[in-house]
Amino acid sequence: MNPFIWFAQDPLAALAWIGYAFILVGVAVYGGIWVFRTWTRVYIRWQKNRHKDEWWGGWVPPAREAKWLAAGCLVLAAIAWAVGALIWMVG
């Protein structure tokens, strides 16, 4: 259907759909930026401190960095949900 006709027939639904799409794109974009910055920060800390005892064997991070890595995984799950929902809305 032509989006202009759809907007003329039901402007409230069209604007709600556009708002949901913007929210989903925002979650995907800003979540991706956050994960990139956070994991880069953890990687730099690993490069600097992996020889110290708090990084067990040089590979297992301390609790603070492990928390940020786990939070990044949750944000990636939210990004996957947002992209899937956006594809479902468009398709």
Using the predicted structure, report yes or no on whether residue 78 has a pLDDT greater than 90.
Answer: yes
pLDDT digits (tens, 9 = 90+) for 22-39: 999 999 999 999 999 999
Query: Residue 89 carries which side chain, given as an amino acid letter?
Result: M
Using the predicted structure, report yes or no on whether residue 83 has a pLDDT greater than 80.
Answer: yes
Domain ranges in the chain?
A: 33-51+59-91
CA distances to 1, 17, 34, 72 from 82, rounded to whole Å, are 24, 14, 15, 15
Identify the pLDDT of residue 51: 85
CA distances to 11, 19, 31 from 89, rounded to whole Å, are 17, 12, 20
